[in-house]
Amino acid sequence: MPLVLVSSDAFERHLTPPGHPERPERAHVFDAVATAWRAGGGEVRAPRPATIDELAAVHDRDHIGRIAGTAGRAAMLDPDTFTSPESYDLACLAAGAALVGVDHAMAGDGPALVLVRPPGHHAERDRAMGFCLFNTVAVAAAYARARGARRVAVVDIDVHHGNGTQQIFEDDQSVLYVSTHQFPCYPGTGAVTEVGFGTGRGRTVNVPIEPGAGDDDYADVLARVVVPILTAFAADLTILSVGYDAHVADPLAQMQVTTAGYRAMLATLRAAADATSGGRLVVVTEGGYDLPALGACLDATVEVLAAPAAAVATDPPPTPRVSGPGIRGREAADAALAVHRPFWPLPA
C-alpha cells in the first residue's frame, strides 16, 4: 500500500511578519521533500480547499466568517497569529489537504503525509491562536467520522499541547485525543488530569513531560501509555498531529529529541496504526521551526511511512539516543497511567 504525499507550493504564500518562526521558508522545506518523493517515483497529490460546511463541523460559523473577513489583507489576530492577503484561502487549503489524505487512507490505499501550513492544532472552535487559523486535524477527524469511521484516534506529538483539538473533542467518545507535550510551555493547557467531559471522559489523554526530555523519555511514554491506549481504543483511522519542535535544535522549546528519536517515534506509531487501524494513517504537519531539523525529520518520516508494513512490524525502531536517566519520561508515564487506569486496561 503506497505512501501518498499531499502538498502544494501555494503554502509559501501565507506570509508572517519578519522574524516570525512560522515563516514561508518552512513551505520551501515541504516543497523539497515533495519534489524528492516525486523524483523517486512517488505520488504527490494536490490539495483541495475544505468547504465551509466541512470547517463548520468543528468551528463556529462566526469564527469562519472572522477568518474569511481577513481575505485580501494582513491582520493580527493575537500577538502570535497573523494573516496575509491569501491566508484564509490557504488555511482552507490546508484543511482540505488533510481531507485528501483521509480519503486515501480510508480507502485502504496506504498512509498519507500531509505537508501544510499554517499549522492547526491550537485553533479552537471559535478562536484562532498560536499561529493557527483552522484546526486541520480536527476537520479531518470530523470528516472521517462523516465518511463512516466509528472511532478516530488523534495522536499529537508536537512539543506544544494541542488545546484546540482537545477542546473540540473533549466530550466526544468517538474521538480519542492523545498528546505528548512539554509542560510547562505554551499554551499552558494539557495537564495530566484533563481527561475530557461527559461521555468523552477518558478519551482525552495528556502526557505532559518536563523540559529537557530526550529520545528515551519519549520512547518510554509511547511504549507504556500511548500504544496500549491506541490498542484498546482500536480506531478505524489514526491521525498524527506531528510537530518537529521537540527537536534538540528547535528554538521554541527545550526538549532534546534527535532526528533518530523522531524516526523511532514515527515507526512506533506507524506500527500501532497498522495493528489497530488496518494501516489507515494520516500524518499532518504542525510545528517545527529549525529548517534543517525540519527537513531531516520529514525525510525520516517519509522513510518510515514508505517502508512495507511488514518491515515496520518486524524491525524494531533504532535504539534512541539516551539523553539521561529517563526520569522525565518515566515520571510522565507513571502520572498518566495513574490517571487513566480507570478508563483503560493499562499495566499496574
- Check the CA dihedral 273-186-163-206 and report its sign: positive
- Per annotation, catalytic residue among 122, 160, 161, 340: 122
Q: 105 by DSSP, 3-state: which?
A: helix
Q: Are 279 and 110 in contact (CB under 8 A)?
A: yes
* ω into 118 cis (within 30 of 0): yes
Compute how many other C-beta atoms are within 10 angstroms of the C-beta atom of residue 170.
Answer: 18
Tell me if 218 sits within 8 A of 246, measured CB to CB: yes
Is 122 tagged catalytic? yes
DSSP state of 112: E
Helix/strand/coil percentages in the chain, nearest 5 = 40, 15, 40
SS (H, E, C) 267-333: HHHHHHHHHHCCCCEEEEECCCCCHHHHHHHHHHHHHHHHCCHHHHHHCCCCCCCCCCCCHHHHHHH
Residue 36's contacts (CB-CB under 8 Å, 6 or more residues apart) are 299
Please state, in angstroms and as integers, the Cα–Cα distance from residue 153 to each residue in 90, 109, 276, following that order: 25, 18, 10
Cα separation, 144 vs 3, in Å, equals 19
**Environment class of 348 (CB within 10 Å of its CB; exposed 0-12, middle 13-18, buried 19+):** exposed
Active site residues: 122
